[in-house]
Amino acid sequence: MKKSEPTIVEKAIQTVDGFEKVFNTIKQQTILRGQSKSTLNNYIRRIALISLHFNKLPEHISEDDINEYLTSLAQSAKSPSRSSFKHAVYGLRYYFRHLGLNKRAIDLPSIKDDSKLPVILNRNELRQLFIAPTLLKHRIVLTLIYSAGLRSQEVVNLKLADIDFERKTIHIRQSKYKKDRIVPLSNYMAKGLKQYIAVEHPHIWLFNGKEPDGRYSVKGLSWVMRESLKKTSITKEVSLHSLRHSYATHLLEDGVNIITIKELLGHAEIATTMVYLHVAQCPVTPAHSPLDSLYADVKCNVKKTK
């Protein structure tokens, strides 16, 4: 059997003196602070790449060399490199602060928000997308993400026991910010899930896959989305997370108040949810006196005076 190639982090542990201690310490800190596994992976991978590039730990790299490295990432025209730049800065900032090198953390380049509005799929596009996959499992997983506004990691973490068909709820456990939440299970979704379970017979996890613990992978979900989009007429630049954006926007357009949507999405701050106010197409109510609507539904029997 062919041995798999070592990961970036494994290469850094093998070749950069002291990196293994760095990895273990940062891993411990992210766990103690209740931060997500993806946060750890983003930070440590960028630190590993920088350490491999210079063959030394970041604290031993000059400020000029680090700035030159970051500049090469920032100037790239490709958006993934822009993301790499942001993760590199965040990772280094986290790393330097952990070492008590606050000045080096502060001196790193600031990152400006792109201020881009989320791309939303309309209802016709969603219907196209949900019938595009050949496999029932793929159709169900895409529909479920939209129907409940789930994050990718939340989908793969779902267990069969988290779906309550009688109460029509989905229990999302220990998601971002280490919070649980309950979201409604659509009647249509419930029928689809029952059909899927009867055909696929998933065990423990709602969506079984090739991960070591038996669950489906986030990479697998992204692949399903990309392949499904190819079979539609959708030309928008969207990703799996666009289904969550569409969920929030459509709820807002359906009249659900933004505080409720914040809770359904599991946002920590209302400001995060308010971005959907800029993309939702809600009917505009003209300015008026509330007195005009106070008696609108009241049938008054007015006696005629002589």
Same domain, 138 and 229: yes
CA distances from 74 to 46, 58, 109, 121, 172 (A): 14, 18, 10, 30, 36
pLDDT category at 244 given cuts 50, 70, 90 is: very high
Give me the pLDDT at residue 107, please: 85
Same domain, 273 and 129: yes
Same domain, 98 and 202: no
Give me the pLDDT at residue 1, please: 47
Give the neighbor-by-neighbor strand order of the sheet with 169-172. 163-164, 169-172, 181-184
276: annotated active-site residue: yes
Same domain, 167 and 101: no
Give me the pLDDT at residue 112, please: 66
Residue 3 included in any domain: no
Indicate the number of domains in the chain: 2
123: annotated active-site residue: no
Same domain, 153 and 179: yes
176: annotated active-site residue: yes
> How many residues are recorded in the chain?
306
Residue 304 included in any domain: no
Mean pLDDT of the 96-108 span: 87
One of 104, 151, 215, 250 is an active-site residue; which one?
A: 151
Q: How far apart are CA 54 and CA 81, in angstroms?
A: 19
82: annotated active-site residue: no
Give me the pLDDT at residue 2, please: 52
Same domain, 236 and 204: yes
Arithmetic mean of pLDDT over the chain: 87
Same domain, 127 and 271: yes
pLDDT category at 136 given cuts 50, 70, 90 is: very high
Mean pLDDT of the 54-63 span: 93
Same domain, 68 and 131: no
Residue 114 included in any domain: no
Residue 75 included in any domain: yes
Residue 298 included in any domain: no
Mean pLDDT of the 126-135 span: 97
188 or 75, which is more confident: 188
Same domain, 80 and 127: no
196: annotated active-site residue: no
CB 249 within 8 A of CB 280: yes
Checking 170-174 for CB contacts under 8 A at 24+ apart, the result is 172/148, 172/266
pTM exceeds 0.85 for this model: no
Residue 96 included in any domain: yes
Give me the pLDDT at residue 126, please: 97
Residue 301 has pLDDT above 70, yes or no: no
One of 95, 146, 196, 276 is an active-site residue; which one?
A: 276
pLDDT tens by residue, 166-216: 999 999 998 876 789 999 999 999 999 999 999 999 999 999 998 999 999
DSSP 3-state of 266: coil
DSSP 3-state of 185: coil
DSSP 3-state of 158: coil
Residue 52 has pLDDT above 90, yes or no: yes
Closest CA to 35 of 144, 153, 195: 153
4 or 253, which is more confident: 253
pLDDT category at 42 given cuts 50, 70, 90 is: confident
Give me the pLDDT at residue 114, please: 57
Residue 283 included in any domain: no
CATH number at residue 12: 1.10.150
pLDDT category at 304 given cuts 50, 70, 90 is: very low
Same domain, 81 and 224: no
Same domain, 82 and 223: no
Give me the pLDDT at residue 12, please: 92
Residue 2 included in any domain: no
One of 139, 244, 245, 250 is an active-site residue; which one?
A: 244
Closest CA to 249 of 283, 282, 285, 284: 282
Tell me which residue range forms the domain holding 51: 8-106
Residue 233 has pLDDT above 60, yes or no: yes
Give me the pLDDT at residue 43, please: 82
Give me the pLDDT at residue 115, please: 67
Give me the pLDDT at residue 71, please: 81
Angle at 248 between CA 244 and CA 265, to 5 degrees: 70
CATH number at residue 212: 1.10.443.10
Residue 296 has pLDDT above 70, yes or no: no
Same domain, 78 and 12: yes
306 or 240, which is more confident: 240
